[in-house]
Amino acid sequence: MKKKIKLPADEVRFLASLPVDVLHSRLRALWEAGWSLGIIANSLEPKRAKSTVHFWVQNATPQEQRRAVPATPPKSLTTTAPLPNTPRLRSISPSVPPEVKPHLLHLSSLAKRYRAKSDPNSELAIANRELTDLARSLYNRGVPAADIAEAAGVTYRAMARRLANG
């Protein structure tokens, strides 16, 4: 389980010793230094709601801090923040191949009429099984369920249910 991040212990003790007006300006300095409202709120004794700390921070008058504000912890231990003005990279997922789309649409139109009481060897039952197999095959190759649903002419929820249940 992820450990909750708090302000350093000496900072928490320092905050507890401050009068209210100075406390609010110190909280503002912490917030401006990059500490989140949640971390600040959870570090106070007694704990406060983020909305309360936000109100205090917004209404506090900025003051010069005589004591250094502690450095913020990294956002993540495994990733770094993106550099400014660098485009975000998106992973490219494969899509439904164009030659498969008409077949998906045809199977889907037949499978919509399939019912549990249908003969297992009927055209509708066979189309229903083929649609499920084809959709699962595409999904296992990394094609998003939304793309499969769009190609088949059904809703995302219908396709997601088909992929989950089979």
Q: Does residue 68 lie in a domain region?
A: no
Q: Does residue 77 lie in a domain region?
A: no
Binning the chain into helix, strand and coil, the percentages to the nearest 5 are 50, 0, 50
Q: Does residue 108 lie in a domain region?
A: yes
Domain range spanning residue 113?
Answer: 101-165
Residue 90 in tokens: 């998106």
| Confidence grade of residue 21 (pLDDT, cut at 50, 70, 90) | confident
Q: Does residue 121 lie in a domain region?
A: yes
Q: Does residue 144 lie in a domain region?
A: yes
Q: What is the average pLDDT across 116-129?
A: 93
d(CA 145, CA 155): 10
pTM: 0.47
| Confidence grade of residue 134 (pLDDT, cut at 50, 70, 90) | very high
Q: Does residue 74 lie in a domain region?
A: no
Place of tokens 């991040």: 5
Count: domains in the chain: 2
Say how many Å lie between the first and final Cα of the chain, rounded: 33
d(CA 19, CA 14): 11
d(CA 11, CA 23): 11
What are the CA-CA distances from residue 163 to residues 25, 113, 128, 150 (Å)?
A: 54, 18, 12, 14
Residue 24 in tokens: 């609010």
d(CA 159, CA 166): 10
Q: What is the average pLDDT across 22-34?
A: 88
